[in-house]
A and B are shown apart, each in its own frame.
Chain A
Amino acid sequence: MRLIRALLCVSVLSIFPSVSLAAEPMSEPAEIVLDPLPTHWIAPKPVGGSAGPVTQAMLDTPFAKGSRWLHYGGDYRNLRHSPLTQLNPKTVPKLQVAWAFSTGTTGQFEVSPVLYDGVLYVTSSYNRLFALDARTGELLWRYDHQNGRNLPLCCGPANRGAAITGDLVLMATLDAHLIAFDRKTGAIAWDTEIIDYTKGYTATSAPLVVGDLAYIGIAGGEYGIRGFMDAYDTKTGKRVYRHYTVPTAGEPGVETWAGDSYARGGSPAWTTGAYDAETDTLFWTTGNPSPDWNGDERLGDNLYSNSLLALDPKTGKRKWHFQFTPHDVWDYDGNSHIFLVDTKVDGKPRKLIVQANRNGFFYMIDRMTGEFVKGKPYLEQVNWATLDAKGRPVVNPKAMPAEDTLERTCPSNLGGTNGSYTGAYDPDLGLVFTATIESCQAFAKGISVFVEGMPYLGGLPELVDAEAGKSYGNFVAIDASTGEVRWRHREAHPMMAGSLTTKGGVVFSGTLGGEAVAYESKTGKQLWRFRMGGGVRSQPVAYELDGRTYVVYGSGSFASMDDFAGGPDRIPEGGHLFVFVLPEG
């Protein structure tokens, strides 16, 4: 009603701009105050079905029913593996559009939707949150977050999704708030400021919930922040602890930073972690030290940047860490998608964390101890380093950023993969799947200038391959027990879309050219391709409702990042959700 009233006022003023003056020519014009446009539409009555609150048991076994998708990573192990067998090589080519939905926003649409009780919870760029009927796409409630001005965004207005627990849906915002909504009405239950965003902080990832705590990491590695991840009480929104990813004076690891460079050391935690219930361990990963491309003032390994952290989930106390890229000067964030995988390595059972790291190497880490097990390149082009027996990079001196003479270095600053999108794992095949970026750059070093809240970069990547039209993508299957690439499916442009596997033997992803794609998991054979329009940066999910089987994609990319990667340059931005369905029968 308020929207209609506001629009009527605007219309009247447009048609009769001098009405008030004509009626009262001798008096001051009456001040007309328009109602602010609405930004929050609460459902008049509870939405969804009859399911009760989301319980810890549901979060522990999220796929007990195919009608749920509760975690960003699919489950606590981050496998993103749907149990739906009906999505298989025979059926997937028959997928049809069931419905679509426009977010009304531009910028990358990186969501991994949450599905519960027949409702899809979808976040968009710039922090809109929609509750949609998962069968029809009908809008049930909506919240448009009003972010503060002058957001410190290095890389676009992304949000990767919500978390769900009890009767609450949680979303982090670009101006660094964590907000909880009543899942049935959209009413705000609490709204907590994580930190003052004007100091260079932002939040883009989906929270992770374990028990009564919601975990969220912060972004800002391009602004000289001091990185951290937080735990919040889901009932009250109060912070329980903050785990800093950079030590301060007197703390272990501070000796790995020259001078006082730790104070502006970055090391953000901008992706979603994983949880191992068996050992009650929370795993979180961190990004680049600041400034990105000039390490002269922060000599040393720069702990705990670009690291895998094993934490006590209740206290945030660190159990162990493994650093992928010490003293990073390429922006090789260590926070690409991690998987908790049980497999055999050289004939022996191992409990691993595996990751296709941004730096081009596939890592196998013992998740009980942090011990490096194996690491191998998963890209076709890696020349910045090799790995020694303990997994430490042996850096090619020519790959170091320089002021004058630059060398073509692989991978690019966007990496072989990066934390803006997920991978997926098929436990039946023992294969990790990920979209990759094959692109090389030359890294230039310049003068670093630190000012709180301002970009703190120290250099830049020259887009060597992207400018030459030589960047391309592969969709890759990696054997989690050996680190060997099992197959590659080449795409014309770099790929930066998330992945989804199914028990039926299909893996879904997407292209920067705007196509949803599906491959046979075992062979890499292409099964299906559908042009949605906007570049695919989202994390596809699948669900079953009333006997129908659905696959959801977000379509819409961010032109600046496409440009960086060497993607197609004529694809307009824009956020559209596409929901595909298998035909009946």
Chain B
Amino acid sequence: MRLAAALASVGMAVGCAIGDAEPPPSPAAIYEQDPAAVRRGRLLFTGTCGGYCHSTSPGNRDAPYLFDCTWKHGGSDQEVFISIAEGVPDTRMPAWQGKMPEGDDDLWKLVAYLRSKRSCNEGS
């Protein structure tokens, strides 16, 4: 329900903005401008996503490297949010929706941290 609410919020924001020149930025894009939010995203990644799962450097893990702009399940902010929130069935990626201390805000800060650290040439 919380995921649906979050996406609905984003959807409404996008829908309201159809007539505008540009859609509003995602929560992650906003958080990416806030060093404290990016730091929290980094500490959440360090404490819950790294370790024996995602690496902070390219490698040969079963959990994908998340900073090279190559996405298996969609690379938009919303798609990354959904991957974190709902997990990926039949992989080791669990669903984090409703499990972070600060709820969806923490998930968006994780996405903001991933955005801030990504390194790719496409500008995506």
- Bound-state CA distance A462–B42 (Å) is 14
Taking a contact as CB atoms under 8 Å apart, the answer to whether B48 and A559 are in contact is: no
Q: Is B9 an interface residue, CB under 8 A from the partner?
A: no
Closest B residue by C-beta to A463 = B57
Q: Is B73 an interface residue, CB under 8 A from the partner?
A: no
Q: Is B61 an interface residue, CB under 8 A from the partner?
A: yes
- Bound-state CA distance A150–B91 (Å) is 7
Q: Is A458 an interface residue, CB under 8 A from the partner?
A: yes
User: Smallest CB–CB gap between B87 and chain A, Å?
Assistant: 9
Closest B residue by C-beta to A291 = B47
Which residues between 388 and 434 of chain A lie within 8 Å of chain B, taking CB atoms? 403
B-side contacts of A154, CB under 8 Å: 51-52
Closest A residue by C-beta to B100 = A449
B-side contacts of A463, CB under 8 Å: 55, 57, 59
* Residues of A that sit less than 8 Å from B by CB: 149-150, 153-155, 222, 291-294, 403, 444-449, 451, 453-455, 457-463, 467, 559-560, 562-564, 569
Closest B residue by C-beta to A403 = B43
Q: Which of B51, B53, B60, B63 contacts A459 (CB 8 A)?
A: B51
Q: Known pairs A449-B47, A455-B48, A462-B57. 20 more at Cβ < 8 A? A: A149-B90, A154-B52, A155-B52, A403-B46, A445-B47, A446-B43, A446-B48, A447-B43, A447-B48, A448-B47, A448-B48, A454-B96, A457-B51, A457-B53, A459-B51, A463-B55, A559-B62, A560-B60, A560-B61, A563-B59
A-side contacts of B33, CB under 8 Å: none
User: Smallest CB–CB gap between A11 and chain B, Å?
Assistant: 27
Between-chain CB contacts (< 8 Å), 15 pairs: A222-B52, A403-B46, A447-B101, A449-B47, A449-B48, A455-B52, A457-B50, A459-B50, A460-B47, A462-B57, A559-B61, A560-B52, A560-B62, A564-B52, A569-B59
- Bound-state CA distance A498–B89 (Å) is 34
Taking a contact as CB atoms under 8 Å apart, the answer to whether A294 and B51 are in contact is: no
SS class, residues of chain A in contact with chain B: loop
A-side contacts of B48, CB under 8 Å: 446-449, 455, 457
* Residues of B that sit less than 8 Å from A by CB: 40, 42-48, 50-53, 55-57, 59-63, 89-90, 92, 94, 96, 99-101
Closest B residue by C-beta to A107 = B62
User: Smallest CB–CB gap between A175 and chain B, Å?
Assistant: 14
User: Smallest CB–CB gap between B58 and chain A, Å?
Assistant: 9
User: Smallest CB–CB gap between A170 and chain B, Å?
Assistant: 27
Given A153-B92, A403-B43, A449-B101: A444 touches B60 (CB 8 Å cut-off): no
Taking a contact as CB atoms under 8 Å apart, the answer to whether A445 and B44 are in contact is: no
- Bound-state CA distance A461–B46 (Å) is 9
Q: Which of A153, A445, A446, A563 contacts B60 (CB 8 A)?
A: A563
Of B40, B48, B53, which is in contact with the most chain A CB atoms at under 10 Å from its CB? B48
A-side contacts of B90, CB under 8 Å: 149-150
Of A460, A463, A467, which is in contact with the most chain B CB atoms at under 10 Å from its CB? A460
Report the 8 A-B pairs with minimum CB-CB distance, sorted nearest first: A446-B46, A446-B47, A460-B50, A457-B51, A447-B47, A563-B59, A563-B60, A446-B43
Taking a contact as CB atoms under 8 Å apart, the answer to whether B46 and A460 are in contact is: yes
Closest A residue by C-beta to B40 = A447
User: Smallest CB–CB gap between A221 and chain B, Å?
Assistant: 10
- Bound-state CA distance A184–B99 (Å) is 49
B-side contacts of A559, CB under 8 Å: 60-62
A-side contacts of B51, CB under 8 Å: 154, 222, 292-293, 455, 457, 459-461
Taking a contact as CB atoms under 8 Å apart, the answer to whether A454 and B99 are in contact is: yes
- Bound-state CA distance A460–B46 (Å) is 6
- Bound-state CA distance A158–B60 (Å) is 18
Of A293, A294, A457, A462, which is in contact with the most chain B CB atoms at under 10 Å from its CB? A457
Closest A residue by C-beta to B99 = A451
Taking a contact as CB atoms under 8 Å apart, the answer to whether A457 and B61 are in contact is: no
A-side contacts of B52, CB under 8 Å: 154-155, 222, 455, 457, 560, 564
Closest A residue by C-beta to B46 = A446
A-side contacts of B59, CB under 8 Å: 463, 563, 569
User: Smallest CB–CB gap between B29 and chain A, Å?
Assistant: 22
Closest B residue by C-beta to A570 = B60
Taking a contact as CB atoms under 8 Å apart, the answer to whether A563 and B101 are in contact is: no
- Bound-state CA distance A293–B53 (Å) is 14
- Bound-state CA distance A127–B79 (Å) is 35
Of A291, A455, A458, which is in contact with the most chain B CB atoms at under 10 Å from its CB? A455
A-side contacts of B47, CB under 8 Å: 291, 293-294, 445-449, 457-460
Given A150-B90, A222-B51, A457-B52: A447 touches B60 (CB 8 Å cut-off): no
User: Smallest CB–CB gap between B22 and chain A, Å?
Assistant: 33
Of B42, B43, B100, B101, which is in contact with the most chain A CB atoms at under 10 Å from its CB? B43
Closest B residue by C-beta to A562 = B60
User: Smallest CB–CB gap between A447 and chain B, Å?
Assistant: 4
- Bound-state CA distance A463–B61 (Å) is 13
User: Smallest CB–CB gap between B86 and chain A, Å?
Assistant: 13
Taking a contact as CB atoms under 8 Å apart, the answer to whether A446 and B50 are in contact is: yes
User: Smallest CB–CB gap between A162 and chain B, Å?
Assistant: 26
A-side contacts of B96, CB under 8 Å: 454
Of B52, B55, B63, which is in contact with the most chain A CB atoms at under 10 Å from its CB? B52
- Bound-state CA distance A559–B45 (Å) is 22
Closest B residue by C-beta to A467 = B57
B-side contacts of A294, CB under 8 Å: 47
User: Smallest CB–CB gap between B114 and chain A, Å?
Assistant: 14
B-side contacts of A458, CB under 8 Å: 47
Taking a contact as CB atoms under 8 Å apart, the answer to whether A462 and B99 are in contact is: no
Given A154-B52, A459-B50: A446 touches B94 (CB 8 Å cut-off): no
B-side contacts of A459, CB under 8 Å: 46-47, 50-51
A-side contacts of B50, CB under 8 Å: 444, 446, 457, 459-460
Given A150-B90, A449-B100, A560-B62: A444 touches B55 (CB 8 Å cut-off): no
Q: Which of B44, B55, B89 contacts A563 (CB 8 A)?
A: B55
Of B40, B57, B90, which is in contact with the most chain A CB atoms at under 10 Å from its CB? B57
B-side contacts of A564, CB under 8 Å: 52
